[in-house]
Every structure is written in C-alpha cells, then in structure tokens.
C-alpha cells in the first residue's frame, strides 16, 4: 500500500494531546499543506491562522465552554466533560481557518482542513478536525477573539484542526461499506 493511502486509512480523531509543542519544521509542513489545498477557481477564500500560543488556546477553550453554558447546550457540555473537560483537548497547536462568505468557501475550507489533518498524521502527530472551536467566536467575546486571531474584516469561522503529540492512540473509525453505491 502506498504511503498516501496508508495515511488516509490510519488517521483517527485524537482527543488527548501531550503538552509537547510542534517544531518549526512541522509547522511549516502543515502550513504548506494548507496552502496547497485546491479551491474553486483558485479563489482561496481563506486565511489560515496557526495558533501555538497555549494561553490563547486555553482562553478560546474557556470562552467556548462559557458560550455553551450561556446557550444551555447541556448535551455538548456533557460530551466535553466525558472527554476530560476540555473542548480543545489540551492541543498545543490549532490551525484556525477563517473564510469569506463566497458560495463555495465552506467546501474549500473542508478540503483545506483535510489536507492539514492528513499532513499532521503523516508526520506522526495526532489531530482532530474541530468545529467546536467556533463556539468561542460566537460568544460574548467573539469579536475580541477574532481580532486577536487576526481575522480579516468580513471573514468568519470556517473550521479548525487541533494538532499535537498524542498521549494515546486509537483505531480509525470502522469503514461502513453500506455507504458505498456502485453502479
């Protein structure tokens, strides 16, 4: 099996990260993978924000949990509590993708985040594609946090990928062959 297929088939969603920071080389490879993502008409409707400031990641985590509490999202809060109480899983790096409001920006963002996740996995890093990070930007501190994250005017949260050294591993999800239709 070639390495690309092996990377795709063995990647899993890591939700348990060590405090180990990523190296500059790892960060550059991940950024290059993000920028290599294709987009419709090569519009590249994104800004890729690589966050390694642990205090800022913890602040985003707390702001997201506060927003869920204010909305009464008990099911989401219980899920977070069952996974160690941290919405961002103690990740030492977050790749936050800000997108414009163009027609296909969400699809393009999805392609970019998959590139980031697969690149991280190929480097032996754990990762999880995480929409929950957007909760911090919907709360009362959302505009302040967007400014600190250098979101361009008119851009909103697209997606994030949390990345770091995994504390533990797990098997990738089972393949559900009944989802495939061959004609």
Identify the pLDDT of residue 134. Answer: 95
Name the nearest CA neighbour of 60 among 144, 133, 167: 133
CA-wise closest residue to 129 among 16, 17, 14, 33: 14
pTM over 0.85: yes
Q: What is the DSSP string of 126-151?
A: EEEE-GGGGHHHHSTTHHHHHHHTTP
| pLDDT score for 83 | 83
pLDDT in tens, 100-141: 999 999 999 999 999 999 999 999 999 999 999 999 999 899
pLDDT of residue 13: 96
Q: What's 3-167's CATH class?
A: alpha beta
**Contact present, 140 and 73 (Cβ < 8 Å):** no
Q: Per-domain residue ranges for the chain? A: 3-167
């Amino acid at each position: 099996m070639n390495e690309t297929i092996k990377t795709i088939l063995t990647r899993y969603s890591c939700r348990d990260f060590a405090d180990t920071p990523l190296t500059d080389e790892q960060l550059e490879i991940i950024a290059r993978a993000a920028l290599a993502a294709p987009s419709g008409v090569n519009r590249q409707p994104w800004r890729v924000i690589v966050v390694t400031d642990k205090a800022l990641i913890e602040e985003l985590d707390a702001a997201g949990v506060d927003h869920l509490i204010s909305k009464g999202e008990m099911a989401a809060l219980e899920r977070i509590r069952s996974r160690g109480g941290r919405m961002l899983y103690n990740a030492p790096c977050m790749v936050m993708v800000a997108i414009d409001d163009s027609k296909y920006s969400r699809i393009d963002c999805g392609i970019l985040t998959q590139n980031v996740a697969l690149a991280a996995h190929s480097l032996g890093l754990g990762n999880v594609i995480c929409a929950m990070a957007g909760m911090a930007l919907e709360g009362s501190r959302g505009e302040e946090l967007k400014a600190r994250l250098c979101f361009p005017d008119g851009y909103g949260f697209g997606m994030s990928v949390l990345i770091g050294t995994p504390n533990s591993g797990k098997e990738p999800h089972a393949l559900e062959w009944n989802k495939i239709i061959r004609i």
